[in-house]
Amino acid sequence: MNRSRGPASIACKERSSRNSLRHGLTGQINVSLKPETPMERQLALAIAEDNRAIDRDNRLKQAREAACAPRKPKPLAARAA
């Protein structure tokens, strides 16, 4: 069986890297903050802390939803085995 090796060209790799942004699943954008003043440093730190809190909340929500998701019943043939 041949496995996909993913996009080969740089243009396809860039487009593929934005797929998660389109549907909102695990989309991350890396922004390089370069604060120059104390106020900018304080704001950059607040942004980073807020992003970490949001990521943590999202992970907890996903775990809670996965734990509460209805389970598919096993087929009757599998139950008898």
For every one of its 81 residues, what pLDDT tens digit does the chain have, with 9 covering 90 and above? 567 777 788 887 777 776 655 545 555 556 667 889 999 999 988 988 998 899 899 988 888 888 887 777 777 766 655
* Residue 79 belongs to a domain: no
* Residue 61 belongs to a domain: yes
pLDDT at 39: 93
Give the domain extent around 48: 11-69
* Residue 18 belongs to a domain: yes
The answer to whether the beta carbons of residues 47 and 33 sit under 8 Å apart is: yes
pLDDT at 72: 75
* Residue 45 belongs to a domain: yes
Number of domains in the chain: 1
* Residue 76 belongs to a domain: no
User: E strands along 22-70, which residues?
Assistant: none
CA distances from residue 81 to 71, 74, 76 in whole angstroms, order as listed = 19, 11, 9
* Residue 52 belongs to a domain: yes
